[in-house]
Amino acid sequence: MARVETSQALLTAEELWQMPDDGQRYELVKGELWEMTPAAIRHGDIASEVAWQLRTYVKQHGGGKVLIETGFCLECQPDTVRAPDVSFVAAERLSVEDQDSFFPGAPDLAVEVVSPDDTDAQVHDKVLDYLTHGTRLVWVVRPHQRTVTVYRPDGTVRLLRETDTLGGEDVVAGFTCPLAEIFG
């Protein structure tokens, strides 16, 4: 993730939305544009496995939508738009009007798969952004360590290892997945 110099001091979520597609992924952090490094194979494989596991469960049991790399407008003036690798939004928070723009608010669940070029500070900042703006559950997946760190807004942090089972807790109620399947 690298900050992109722009001619403007700060960008808005609307300006980010209107940018021509240049094949890159961007996030907006307090009005500053950040370019996301394209994902490596391991990153993409793990993110797609998490999404598949969640989506399969949600399709069978209902309750919301599982999204991939969707922009969430967390904050305004200056604007912050984050795009977790995988996310879940409860059905009662979805509307037809939100389908063709960034989601106005935080996801209920945000999943970040850590890339080799992500710094601990960058990951920490993302987790804080999500939790501060209403995300109820954050999973930080570390492929090389084969761990998932689970964060809650009340400050609870749990480290899960490959032999543990990941759960949706009260956010995706009833969802469970052995981490061995994610890291397979």
Question: Taking the domains of the chain in order of start, what are their residue ranges?
Answer: 38-183
Closest Cα partner for 135 from 166, 172, 161? 172
Q: Evaluate if residue 6 carries a pLDDT over 60.
A: no
Q: What is the pTM of this model?
A: 0.89
Q: Evaluate if residue 109 carries a pLDDT over 80.
A: yes
> What architecture is the 38-183 domain classified under in CATH?
Alpha-Beta Complex (3.90)
The per-residue pLDDT for range 163-173, each reduced to its tens digit, is: 999 999 999 99
The per-residue pLDDT for range 9-24, each reduced to its tens digit, is: 788 888 887 777 777 7
What percent of the chain is helix, strand and coil (3-state, nearest 5)?
A: 30, 30, 40
The per-residue pLDDT for range 151-164, each reduced to its tens digit, is: 999 999 999 999 99
